[in-house]
A = this chain, B = another copy of it.
Amino acid sequence: MTRPDLGFPTVGVVGGGQLARMLQQPATALGIGLRVLADSFEDSAAQVIRDVVVGDYRDEATLEKFASTCDVVTFDHEHVPIEHLRRLEQSGQIVHPGSAALVHAQDKGVMRERLQRLAVPTPLWRRVRDVDDVLQFAQQSGSWPVVLKATRGGYDGKGVWLVHSAEQAAEVLAHDQVPGFLVEQHVEFTRELSSIVARSPSGQAVAYPLVETVQEDGVCRQVYAPAPHSTPTQAGSAQSIALRLAGELDVVGLLAVELFETSDGLLVNERAMRPHNSGHWSIDGSVTSQFENHLRAVLDLPLGDPSATAEHAVMVNVLGGDLDDIYPAYLHCMARDPDLKIHMYGKAVKPGRKIGHVTVVGTAFSQLRERALHAAAYLRGDIDE
């Protein structure tokens, strides 16, 4: 790399997925250097970012060497071994979010214990070792089904099982490669919400508008920003939880807090300490996207305004479907809707894989939703008119 030294820092991103890819756009605008540690030159981010190191982030020497060339290290995913990060920090490397925060995002049990101490409302839960623990929990909490979760490594519905009986629980617990399990109450929610905040090392923090997320099979499919019909009280409450958590856990960068809306109020579900699918709408729908604010936060730059620029934004994920060659469908979508914002991740189509997303912004919510859903379905090959 031969970027001239203009006194602008370089952010190193561990992981070459679409989140790293979408960091590139604000990094380029801001004149910030961006370096990616990717698994392969074909990774989504590695295809478009100038400065790519290919290597295994689980290998401590590789990680250390990569970090030594960056002013700050941040993440596309949450799978980097915490022990590696602790030693990087001890050697003076700036890592954001830091290992002390990140351990909460990596281990669902650790996070829940912390939430409990902070008296943040969550579904009932407990760590489990065997079927008896699950049975006991189901009896105490009142009913089946219950939700079993691997404490580590889950994403997009992976590592989460809805079980209706002791037999089903036993089957899940037999996955002996899973490092640990917890059981959780199956919450009857009215809808799912997500609150994203950005926080810098100096403690400045901003909250994005509260959004509604629509999940199918544990995978985020749609995001409505702001969450329709959400009261200022509800939005404020969700944002307060996220801001408080970011402060208590000393998160630097983004924190996304997923919530259940129930008849009794909000319960915190999961969290992520990185750009989050529920914030992709902000690229086209807010003054400062979540990606730009993540960069600003980890560099301790003043944060940008997270406000929405239009009354409504609707984001729909494009999942891989039956259509292999999506370029003709993509032309159709552009022709049908000149206001549609298409984002492709450079990923080959595989069934169910997130290969892109579309966003529309404007005033008439139901029309925006129809347009975004149509485009995503067309790109997936579900419809052809």
Contacts and interface: CB of A to CB of B under 8 A. Distances in A.
A356 B29 CA distance: 9
A7 B326 contact: yes
A302 B338 contact: yes
Interface in A333-385: 334-335, 338-339, 341-349, 356, 361
A31 interface: yes
Contacts of A46: 50
B50 A48 contact: yes
A345 to B, nearest CB: 7
Contact of A3 (B21, B42, B334): B42
A6 B41 contact: no
Interface stretch (A77-85, A159-167, A268-276, A304-312): A304-312
Given A50-B49, A342-B30, A302 B7 contact: no
Report how many copies the assembly holds: 2
Contact of A50 (B4, B27, B50, B338): B50
B29 A342 contact: yes
A170 interface: no
A345 B4 CA distance: 11
Interface string A223-252: 000000000000000000000000000000
Top 3 nearest A-B pairs (CB, nearest first) are A31-B344, A302-B335, A302-B334
21 contacts: A4-B346, A6-B326, A7-B327, A8-B327, A8-B344, A24-B24, A24-B25, A25-B25, A27-B48, A29-B342, A30-B342, A30-B343, A31-B342, A31-B346, A34-B48, A49-B50, A287-B341, A288-B338, A302-B334, A304-B334, A309-B309
